[in-house]
Structure 1
Amino acid sequence: MRHEISAVVLDLSATGIGIVRSLKEKGIKVYAFDIKGKYEIGKTRHATCGICPNPVSEKEKLLHFLTNFGKSFNNKPVLYAGSDDFVHFISKHRSILFRYYRFLLPVHSLVESVLDKTLTYELAIKHNIPCPKTLAIHDETQLEQIINEVTFPCILKPVQSADFRKRIDHNLYKKAIMIEQASELRKEYLIYRPFGELMLQELVPGDEECIYSVKTLFDEQMNLTGMWMNQKIHQFPPVFGSSAMVISKRDEEVIQKAVSFLSELKFKGLAITEFKRDQRDGELKFIEINARIGLTQRLSTAVGVNLAYLYYLLLTDQNPSPVTSQKEGVKWVYLVRDFISFVQNRRNGKMTIANWLKGLSGKKVEALFAWNDPLPFIRSFISHLRNLWWRR
C-alpha cells in the first residue's frame, strides 16, 4: 500500500488521538489541529500539532487557515474530523475544501439532519425505524400545551448538542436530564432554555449494557467498506453520557438495522449508529447517528477493523478490500472517565470497588495511554481530575 499522501486530523481529543496513532502506525505523515485548550491537552508526538480557529465561533478564520494550509501540499491530504463541530464545518464549506483536501461525506442536508436531534428522529420515523417518542419545545407556551401529554420519567435534552455545549458553562452542561415530574420539567426548562432549543424524549428503560454502537464506512457507491460494533459497559457521566468503557461484541440484529438504515439514507463515508434495547419488550430503539469516526477508534484497530486506515486507503484510490469481521470480547476503557463514573456510582450505591476492578480485567486497550506517547494521557487525567475537584 502507498502511504506518501499526508493526513490532516481536526481534533485532539481522545477521538483525534486515536485517528493519529492509527495512521502513524502505518507510516503516514499526520498533521493534527484543534482549538487552544484542546491542543494544549491533546498534542501528541505522533503528529505535527498546532492550534486552529474555532469551527463554531471563527468559521471564516478557520476556512482561511485550512485553505492556506491545504495549498502547501503538492498532493491533496486526507481530511478527518474528530468532532461534530468539525464535521459540520467541513460539510458546509465542502465546495472550497474539496480543492485542497480529500474527504467523503453524505449530502449536506443529511449531515445537518443528524446534527439536529429532532430532524434525526424524523428521519427514523420516515424510514420506519423504532425510536423513542420525541417532542421539540419551542417556548414556554408550547411546553404548557404538551405537558399533560408527557409520560414521566422522561429526558430533557438539547436539540443540537454541540452548539448547546459551546454556549453553556461546562459546570452546568449535561448531555441529558432525567425529569421525574411536571414541576421539575418547568424548573429545568427555564434553566437550560437560554442556551439553545430543547426537546423531550421518552425514557427507554435499560442500563448502559443495553446500548450498542455500529461503526461503518461506505464508499461513494454505498458499498460497505468497513464495519464493526461494540456494546457499552460504562458511561461518563453515568446514565447519560459518552463511552467510558465498551466491549467489542457483534449482534446481527443491530448490524442489520444500522446497515439497512444507512443504506436507505445513502449515508456514504463514516458513521456511528447507536441503538438501545428496550428492556420492556426487547425491541431495538434508534438513538443517533454521527457522521465521523468515534471516540473508540483505538478499539477499532485492536479488533482488526481500522476504519481510519480504510478511510485513508479509500480516499487515496487504493480500493481496500471490505473488512467487516471483528475480534470479540476486547474492552476499550477511557480510564480517568471510567474512574470518575465509578466514584459517582459508588456514592449512589450502584457499584463497589470490587465490581469496578473486575470490569477492568481481560484484554483491553486504553483510550489515550501509550508508552511511546504518554503525555496526552497524563494531561487529560490531570484536566479531568481538576474539573472534578472544582465541581465538588
Structure 2
Amino acid sequence: MKNKAVILGTNYYIGLSALRCLGVNGIHTVAIDYSKKETYGNKTKYCSERIIGPHYKEQKEEFVKFLINYAKKQNEKPVLIPCHDSYVEVIDEHLTELKKYYLIPQTETGLYSKLMNKEVLHRLAMEKGVNVPETVRVNEENFYEKIDSIIKYPCIVKPTDSPTFVAKFRRKLFKVHNREELEEALNKAKEANLEVIVQRIIPGFDDHMHTFDAYLDQNSKVTHWVTCQKHRQYPINFGASVYTEQKYVPELYDIGAKFLEEVGYKGFAEIEFKKDAETGKFYLIEINVRITNLNSLLYKVGVNFPYITYMELVGKPIEPKAIKTNTRRVFWYAYEDFLAIKGYIKTKQLTLNQVMLSFLKPKAYAIWDWKDPIPGISYVGIIVGKMLKKVFKRTK
C-alpha cells in the first residue's frame, strides 16, 4: 500500500495494538509521540517509522503544522489514526485543515467533541430515545433537592470534558456518599475550572458494563461490529477495562447502531452501556471516538478495526462482518487487573475462587505477544524502574 498510516500516541498499549493491526497486513506505520520517555508501544516490530514531534496540547499549533509538513512530504495522503482523546480533540478542532493532507473518516467538524462531551452526549441520547442515567447540572434550580429526590446517594460527579479531568485528578470521576462529599467534589472541580454534572449510579456490578464496538462507513452505516461484557475494571467500579470478554448481545446493536447512524457518525466508535440490575434496561454511559483498549481483543475475535478504517479510506473497503457467537475470549491487562483484583477482594465484591476460575478463558493480551516480545519486555522494564524509584525514596 502506498498510503502510510500515522498513529498518534504509542506510549500506551492502545497505540501498540493499532500498530500491530496495521503492520501485520503490510501497512507502512508511523508512530508519532511527543517524547521517547516510557514509549514502549513503538518498540513493536510492526512500526516502520518512529517520530518525535511537538506536544499536542502545550504546543498545539506547532503540532498541527508538524503533522501537515510531514504529510506534504508523502507521495500519497497518509491515514490518520488517533489513540488518545487529546489527539482526537486536536484533529476535531483542525479537521478541515488536516483533511487536506490526511485521510480521516469523520467529515463533520465538532462531532467528535460533541460525543466526547458528557453533557452534550446526554442531550443527544435523550433526543434519540436512548436511556441515559438521570443527571442534574450544577447550575440548575433546586440543585440539592433534586439530588435528594432524583439522584440520591451514593452518586457520581462526572466531568463534561474527560481528558482534562483525568489529566488533573488521575481518575474518571468522583463517587460521593453524602452532601458533604458532594460539596467537596464540586469545589475541587470549580477550583480546577472544570465543568461537571451529577448522575445517578445505575445499579449492578461491573459485569453489567457492556460495549458496542462498531465501524461506520462514509454513508454513516454500520458495517462491522462486536459486543463485549466487562468483568473487571481499574480503578474498580468506575475505571477502564482490564478484564473484558467478547459476548454477543444483539440488543446493543439495536440501540448503538441506530444512535450512531442517526447522528451521522463515520469511522470507529465504542459505546459503553450499563445494564440496570433491577430493570434490565441498557443505559448509555459514554462513547469513545477513537481506537480503545479492547482493540487487541476485537482483532483476536476477527474484526480488525484499524485495518478496516485504513482500507475504506484508501478506497478498498472490507466486506461487512459482525461477531454473532460467543468466543469466550477475554482482553487482559495483567498489571492493572492484579491491582483491581486486590480491590475487589478487599471490598468483598469478588472471591479468590471467582477470580481464579475467570482465568481459564482464552486471552487477548493488552501488551504481550510471543511473536512481538520487545514492547512487553520494555513495559516490564518501565514498571520495574518505577518500583525501584519508590523503594529508594522510602530508604532515603
- State the TM-score, normalized to the length of structure 2: 0.90
Q: Structure 1's 227 and 43: CA in aligned 2 closer, same or farther, altered over 3 A? A: same
Tell me the residue number matched to 2:166: 165
Equivalent residue number for residue 345 of structure 2 = 346
Q: Which amino acid aligns with 1:310?
A: I
Distance in 2 between residues matched to 1:27 and 1:360, nearest whole Å: 33
Determine the C-alpha separation between the residues in 2 that align with 1:73 and 1:60.
21
Corresponding letter in the other structure for 2:72: K
Q: By how many angstroms is 1:5 displaced?
A: 2.1
Q: Which residue of 1 aligns with 2:18?
A: 19
Is 1:178 the counterpart of 2:175? The answer is yes
Find the residue that maps to 1:216 and give its secondary structure. Answer: strand
Q: Does 1:283 pair with 2:281? A: yes
**Runs of 4 or more above 6 Å deviation:** none
Alignment partners' CA distance in 1, 2:243 and 2:26? 29
Tell me, in whole angstroms, the C-alpha distance in 2 between the residues paired with 1:112 and 1:63: 17
Is the 1:214–1:255 Cα contact (8 Å) retained in structure 2?
Answer: yes
Distance 1:20 1:263 in 2: 28
- 295 and 315 in structure 1: CA distance in 2 versus 1, 3 angstrom threshold: same
Q: Helix, strand or coil: the match of 1:368?
A: coil
After TM superposition, give the deviation of residue 266 of structure 1 in Å: 1.2
State whether structure 2 residue 82 is matched by structure 1 residue 81: yes
Q: What corresponds to 2:216 in structure 1? A: 218
Per the alignment, in what secondary structure is the counterpart of residue 362 of structure 1? coil
Q: State the AA in 2 paired with 1:331.
A: V
Would the aligned equivalents of 2:92 and 2:110 in 1 still touch at CA under 8 Å? no
Paired residues in the alignment total: 385
* 1:352-392 per-position Cα deviation (integer Å, ceiling 9, x unaligned): 44432322212111011112433433444455674899699
What are the ranges of 5 or more consecutive residues in structure 1 without an aligned counterpart? none
C-alpha distance 40-369 of structure 1, shift in aligned 2 (>3 A)? same
Q: By how many angstroms is 1:238 displaced?
A: 0.5
Amino acid at match of 1:64: K
1:235·1:241 contact (CA, 8 Å) conserved in 2?
A: yes
Counterparts of 1:231 and 1:342 in 2: how far apart (Å)?
17
Partner residue, 2:33? 34
Query: Counterpart amino acid of 1:15?
Result: I
Alignment correspondent of 1:115: 116
Q: Deviations over 1:70-91 (max 9, x none)?
A: 1121011111011111112112
Whether the aligned pair in 2 keeps the contact of 1:222 and 1:268 (CA below 8 Å) is yes
> How high is the TM-score relative to the length of structure 1?
0.91
Q: 1:30 and 1:266, CA in 2 relative to 1: closer, same or farther beyond 3 A?
A: same
Q: Would the aligned equivalents of 2:165 and 2:172 in 1 still touch at CA under 8 Å? A: no
* 1:254/1:390 CA distance change after superposition, 3 Å: farther
Q: CA deviation at 1:130?
A: 0.9
Using the alignment, how far apart are the partners of 2:280 and 2:388 within structure 1?
36
Picking from 228, 235, 239, the partner of 2:226 is: 228
Tell me if the contact between 2:93 and 2:110 (Cα under 8 Å) persists in the aligned partners. Answer: no
- Alpha-carbon separation, structure 2, partners of 1:319 and 1:307: 12
CA contact (8 A) 2:53 2:63 kept: yes
Displacement of 1:293 in angstroms is: 1.8
Identical pairs, percent: 27
Pair 1:148–1:331, CA change in 2 (3 A): closer
CA-atom RMSD in angstroms: 2.4
